[in-house]
Amino acid sequence: MQKTIEKLKELTKDVVLLEHAVATLSWDQETYMPPKAIGEKGEQLALLQGILHEKITSSDIGKLLDDLGADDNNPAGKSDSLSPTNSAYIKETYRQYKIQTRLSKKLVTDLALETSLSQASWIEARKKSDFSLFQPHLEKVLELTKQKAEAVGYKETPYDALLDEFEPWSTTKEVADIFNSTQPWLTDFIGKIKNSKQVDDSFLLKDFDISKQEIFGRKVLQDMGYTYDRGRLDVSVHPFTTTLGKDDIRLTTRYQKDFFKTGLFGIIHECGHGLYELGFGDKVRGNLLASGTSLGIHESQSRTWENVIGRSMSFWKYYYPELQKYFPENLTGISLNEFYRGINKVEPSLIRVEADEVTYNLHIILRFQLEQELISGALSAGDLPDAWNKKTKDFFGITPDTDANGVLQDIHWPMGAFGYFPTYALGNLYSAQFSSVMEKDINVNESLENGNLSDILDWLRNKIHIHGASKSAEELVLDISGEKLNPEYFKKYLENKYKQIYNL
């Protein structure tokens, strides 16, 4: 059995290497690629995706999985003598093999080419704030994505097949039930804040020199534990983290001169993702388990650092005096408490990545509902802008003034990443549940006030990062907290924090 597993790991090593090569091309497209290079770049990506598909669906991998007894009833194989990590490895390999064998090579390469072209079209459409420039590409991506869902198969809805790619073993109904239980509470809580005296954040909307923003952000990045010998920080239209190799984890952010929160909190957020990727244990590094348990768990790491840590009073007790030195013209006379309240201002807004942590999940629920309608055919691509604007009005009481501030603000649909959005909201819920345990295990506030971020990173490494994808999201949250995902932790976290900020 062990020899068979080693053979399987050797074969799937090529899959991991090809995934990193694809990520390298995609990173280049989003950062430094000249605009006219998009045509061949799309062909390169399609070629590599085709080879990747052939690798993961090879008959050799299929035979080894058969020898290990992996099937739909026993995806982890039939041996009781295997270590938990090896059982998890078989289970994940079987999951990917089963999905990919149901997809034709043509569909895989068509999707890779079209999403590459679609992303380039989206960038241009976003610059010009003109959805019509992007619509034809979205229609093609949607059609291919629907074909993908049908090929993969599902029990209840095509969306299940797409969600499983990002949140393995979860169903649309399970996610919808969680969202339906939190949306009314969020709406009510936002209403209470709306009826309170609003926080003043005008000092964050002044001219903050971008070069200084970058210097300060890089300092925080390194304090968090991110090292440039295993990664780098660049600028992109939409912030992201990507893995180009086990020792090559790259981050991007974007800066706004007149909105300080965008750059710094984008860096902290993406660093949370990066630290997760850098923290995989030796048992999973270099194989198919060297990835996040799910994107919901991945997002819990970025949201923990960005919000629970990065927007806390304890964090800024240490960092605010330093920040004032960089921007005395904007922050002199602004007290720590005023700054803390300002960076945590709650206000319905148009842009998801700049939304506060109270209204953020509503942005996700909006997208979750819309993309289900797109996949089911209940909503056409041409009607998407109007549907988006209507839901924004219903959810937030405001209407997007431009396509760029509305339907064109996210890169996920151009990427063909339908089923991705729910993981952001799930990440917030996981983050609150994990943090409640962490605060019992270590003195988080004391560590932050002393500028000691290593204690927090160590806890996250030992409890979450080290496992990679060797545990499911459900198993991980149960091991750490003793119960399944429970939205009540998130509600309690928001109540404790914002009742104080808004004197509720």
Burial zone of 195 (CB within 10 Å; 0-12 exposed, 13-18 middle, 19+ buried): exposed
Q: Please identify every residue annotated as catalytic.
A: 270
With a CB cutoff of 8 Å and minimum separation 6, the contacts of 456 are 309, 438, 442, 444, 447, 448
Beta partners for residue 479, in sequence order = none
Query: What SS3 state is found at 123?
Result: helix
Burial zone of 483 (CB within 10 Å; 0-12 exposed, 13-18 middle, 19+ buried): exposed
What is the chain's Cα-based Rg? Answer: 22
Give every strand in the sheet of 241-245, ordered side by side.
233-235, 248-253, 241-245
Query: What SS3 state is found at 252?
Result: strand
What is the DSSP secondary-structure string of 299-354? Answer: HHHHHIIIIIITTSHHHHHHHHHHHHHH-HHHHTT--HHHHHHHHT-----S-GGG
Contact yes or no for 169/476 (Cβ under 8 A)? no
Q: How far apart are the first and last CA of the chain?
A: 61
Strand 233-235, strand 248-253: pairing: parallel
CA-to-CA dists, residue 63 to 59, 71, 312, 313, angstroms: 6, 12, 52, 56
Query: What SS3 state is found at 357?
Result: coil
